[in-house]
Every structure is written in C-alpha cells, then in structure tokens.
Amino acid sequence: MKRKASSIRRSRSTKIVATLGPGTSSPERIRALFEAGVDVFRLNFSHGVQEDHGTRLEILRGLEKRMGRPICVMADLQGPKLRVGRFADGPIKLSPGMRFRLDLSDEPGDETRVKLPHPEIFEALTPGTDLLLDDGRVRLRVLSCGPDHAETEVVTGTQLSDRKGVNVPNVLLPLSPLTAKDRDDLRYALDIGVDWVALSFVQRPEDVAEARRLIANRAALLVKLEKPSAIAHLDELIEMADGIMVARGDLGVEMPAEDVPSIQKRIVRESRMAGKPVIVATQMLESMIGSPAPTRAEASDVATAVYDGADAVMLSAETATGAYPIEAVSIMDRIARRVEHDPLYRAIMDAQHPDPQRTSADAITAAARQVAQTVSAACIVTYTTSGSTALRAVRERPDVPILCLTSRLETARRLVLSYGVHSVNTGDVSTFAEMIQKASRIAYQDGLAAEGQRLVITAGIPFGTPGNTNVLRIAWVEGNSQP
C-alpha cells in the first residue's frame, strides 16, 4: 500500500465502529464518515442484499488506497431470527391473565393464538418458562406445551403485531447460530475479503467451533455476546474468539436491565486480560437517529465504555439509517478524546495490568510500556507478522500510541480494531539499522513522533518469525529519518 505523508492519525486510542446502510453508501458519505473518525466499517447482513455490501466494500478498498491507511471491514451475520407469524386483522390487544396459544398452524393469528414457526422452541419449552415478545414488551408464561404448541398466560403487555421477535431467556435452544442464509452470506463475505466476521446468537463454545471451521482463517472471528447462556461460558468463548462484542440490546431483553452494566464491565475486563479486542455496542447514541445531538445519558454511556477500557464503541442505526450519521461519529469521537484526556481515565487504565505469561515475549512487551513511560517515549513500535506482538502491547493499555508495522496487509487491517494501534502495511526488514530507520521514518511521517523524541521498539529476531518477540530497543527520531 502506497504511504502518504498526509495519512490520518487518530488522536484517541478507543476505536469507532460504524454501520453502513442506505444513507451511507455513496463514496462521498463513506469518506466523510472516515474523516469524521470511523476506524472500522460494519456491513450488517441482517439488512440489504449481498451485492449492496459488496459495493460498499469496493468503495472502502478504493478509499483505503487513496488515503494510504488500512481500513478494517466487519461482516455481521444475522443469525436465527425468531418471530411470531401474522394476524388476520392487524395488531391484537392483550391484558395480564389472558390465555394465548402459540402453535405451528398456518392460519393467521387472532386474540387467542398466533403461529410460532420454530419447532425448535417448542422442543425446548417446559411449563413455567417465560417467553419475551417484541423486545420484551410482551411477556408470556408457559402453562403447558407439546412438540407443536404452547399454551401460555399473558404476564405483561398490551399489544402484539405481525412478525415481532421472540426471545426465550434462560433456555438453551437447539439452534445453530448459522442459518442457511448465514452460511451463504459468510461465503460471500469471505470471497469479497472482509477482515472480521461477527457471529450472532452464540449460546455455547460449540457454536464458535463451527464458525471457525467454515472461516478457515480467512478472516478474524468476533463473537457477539447477546444470550445469557453465552455469559455462562464467557471464559471459553473469549479464549476461542479473536474478538468480542457486548451486544447490550439483546442482553438487556433476556436478562434484567440492572445486570447489564456489571456484565459489560466484566466482559470488557476479561477480554482485555486475555488480549482480545472488545466492542461495546447497541443503543449508544440512539436518539441521534433523528436528532442532531445526543442525550446527556447517552454521552455518559459512551464515556463509561471508554472508561471501562473497551477497544471500540459502535454505532448501528445512527449511521446506517439515521439523519445525522456524520454528527454521530463526530460526537462519539469528541467524547472518547475527552475521556482519554481525563487523569482519572489514565489512573483506571494503570490500576490493572494483566500478569505477563512466563515468556520472553510477554516480559518484553510488559517492559515496553514501563520503559515508554519512564523515558517519555512518543510511541511504542511493534514489528509483527501475525499481530500477536501488537496485541500483547495493546493488552497493557499504554498511554502512548502503538505503531504496528507489518508486511501482511490482512494483519494491518485486522489490528485497526484494537485499542491504540496505528497499523501500517510495510515491507520486511532484515537488519537492526533498517528496523530503527523505518520505525523512525514512519513514526515521524504519520505524526506519531517529532524529531528528537524517543521510540520504544519491540521485535523478534530472526525477523519475520511469528510470535517471537525477543528484542526491546530505545531509538531516537533523527533528522535523517524524516521523509
């Protein structure tokens, strides 16, 4: 990738993920989003057709070449969508205590029953199970059930209309997270060259193993945590995934709302300890779908995710279909920058550093953060092939940027998601002198360091050996390093 002296350098460590949609599909709008602060672009396969997503990715790859910066693209798979059928005469009225039947009949619904075209749900139900419809606005309790029906009582709710979603909290459903549509979308996403694949409806480790097999290392795998059953397997899922998304909207439907904030903090903390990038998503600036400014509560919500140490925060409908996509990104950018300049933020980040494993790579990476702080280095430089060296540095949450130099474009793109990483696709080096000169030149060129400032460089010898970080070097940015 051709380097440009004018490459955009973010002045924050927390990354911004934005979803593309009907309102943000033109080259002009996509570039405006990038310039406003978007680091990762999300293609939401729950909406639109494959060709639309392919066109957006082509625009992004063209923008990448023009800007001389790696751009990360995520394909978010839909997963199973559980919905009731249709009603004969429009929405029905419900009241607590009413009896209501769910079944497999193709007849349009009425105030006594409706089709639930998912026999897998009936298979998993038992008397006393609660079902949540329409994002929890309607709660039904199962009185009796069979393989093709469930007799329920209305607990809460006043109205139900066509095709509303169904959630079954605290029940492990016999469903794969990959429907036939998802498998087709996954093949398409991998063929067009996305960098990350987000897997929806994960309930257990086996779900991740199936996706891993299909992806076959052609993209990094991000697991969306949106089912309470997944939280029960949190450690295993973090270990199996390349990254994690806290999908708070769905979590908030299936578990008490008061539990979600502590769950969010736990997921962010444990993902960081494992060295896996973590995204906090859903309803972050939702009012900006139709308003040019967020609520104070939303601004505080975004700030909390940054204070927690998330790698990234995400916008969904705000940028996909909202009236103010550029403004939403700009405000999220300003919130993140303001938090990161708060002394309390640095105190929080420094309060907990993961214990390094008993390896030279972990020891050197942990030392790099301490050395950078001691000598007031401008940035930490990592030379990496697989990205593992950079991810070790990210885990430390240093107070300076991490300049990641890699000869693999796919590695450079994937690392864009990670906290504090400024990734650059560049050729391999063969000597120490070349390593230092290249690090100094790029750090200066991309605005990460000025002449006379110091860099802390980590690398592996021999060069090009994945996962072999065994060298730490302090270097100065000199006049002959400048472009």
Give the Cα-Cα-Cα angle 163, 168, 172 (nearest 5 degrees): 130
Residue 223, both tokens = 């697991």
Say if CB 353 and CB 393 are below 8 A apart. Answer: no
* Residue 258 exposed, middle or buried by CB count within 10 Å (0-12, 13-18, 19+): exposed
Say if CB 32 and CB 63 are below 8 A apart. Answer: no
Choosing from 56, 139, 164, 224, the catalytic residue is 224
Helix (H) or strand (E) holding 140: strand 138-146
CA distance 261 to 94: 31
Tell me whether residue 83 is one of the annotated catalytic residues: yes
* Residue 448 exposed, middle or buried by CB count within 10 Å (0-12, 13-18, 19+): buried
Q: Which residues pair with 472 in a beta bridge?
A: 458
- Residue 280 has phi, psi (to 5 degrees) of -100, 125
CB atoms within 10 A of CB 256: 8
CA distance 236 to 206: 10
- Residue 71 has phi, psi (to 5 degrees) of -120, 130
Choosing from 14, 19, 24, 282, the catalytic residue is 282
Handedness of CA 311, 182, 237, 231 (dihedral sign): positive
Tell me whether residue 224 is one of the annotated catalytic residues: yes
Say if CB 107 and CB 127 are below 8 A apart. Answer: no
CB atoms within 10 A of CB 290: 11
Say if CB 371 and CB 472 are below 8 A apart. Answer: yes
CA distance 410 to 51: 22
CA distance 382 to 393: 8
Counting other chains too, the contacts that 290-294 makes at CB distance below 8 Å and 24 or more residues apart are 290/322, 290/323, 291/324, 292/323, 292/324, 292/327, 293/327, 293/331, 294/328, 294/331
Q: At what angle do helices 50-67 and 27-36 cross, to 10 degrees?
A: 60
Choosing from 81, 83, 141, 183, the catalytic residue is 83
Token pair 């929405």: residue: 91
Residue 435, both tokens = 């390593």
Tell me whether residue 282 is one of the annotated catalytic residues: yes
Residue 5, both tokens = 């002296």
DSSP conformation letters of 141-179: EEEEEETTEEEEEEEE-SEE-TT-BEE-TT---S--S--
Please list the active-site residues: 42, 83, 224, 282
